[in-house]
């Protein structure tokens, strides 16, 4: 193949990736290995929870860190469509003081989109 042919082929691949990448980035497809159901206009995992943990000088900072942990792992595994904590179901939160005066928090929730 000529250099010009290689450049054309690479341009075609780049164009294809530019078109398909956003769809792949939003939903990895792994969520469909779990049982799902409709809940209030959302599609949610029926009994599979994701967890997050965080720490901070204040309870609010520790909660924010825990939510960020939940979002990060859910996004990695299922894609950004599933990683919106605001849409999650069956949310649970527990926080405790640390010996240094800060807070540790743990959250759990079923991903929904």
**Residue 53 in domain:** yes
Position 51 confidence tier, pLDDT thresholds 50, 70, 90? very high
pLDDT of the residue at 24: 44
End-to-end Cα distance, the chain: 46
Q: pTM of the full predicted structure?
A: 0.75
Position 9 confidence tier, pLDDT thresholds 50, 70, 90? very low
**Residue 45 in domain:** yes
**Residue 11 in domain:** no
Total domain count, the chain: 1
Tokens coding 31: 């969520």
Going by C-alpha positions, the residue among 110, 20, 30 that lies closest to residue 78 is 30
Q: What is the mean pLDDT of the chain?
A: 84
């Amino acid at each position: 193949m000529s250099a010009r042919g290689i450049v054309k082929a690479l341009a075609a691949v780049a164009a294809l990736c530019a078109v398909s990448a956003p769809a792949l980035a939003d939903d990895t497809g792994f969520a469909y290995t779990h049982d799902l159901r409709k809940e209030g206009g959302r599609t949610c995992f029926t009994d599979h929870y994701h967890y997050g943990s965080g720490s901070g000088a204040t309870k609010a900072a520790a909660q924010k860190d825990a939510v960020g942990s939940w979002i990060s792992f859910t996004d990695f595994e299922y894609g950004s469509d599933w990683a919106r904590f605001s849409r999650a179901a069956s949310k649970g939160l527990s926080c405790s003081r640390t010996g240094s005066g800060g807070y540790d928090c743990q959250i759990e929730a079923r991903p929904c989109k």
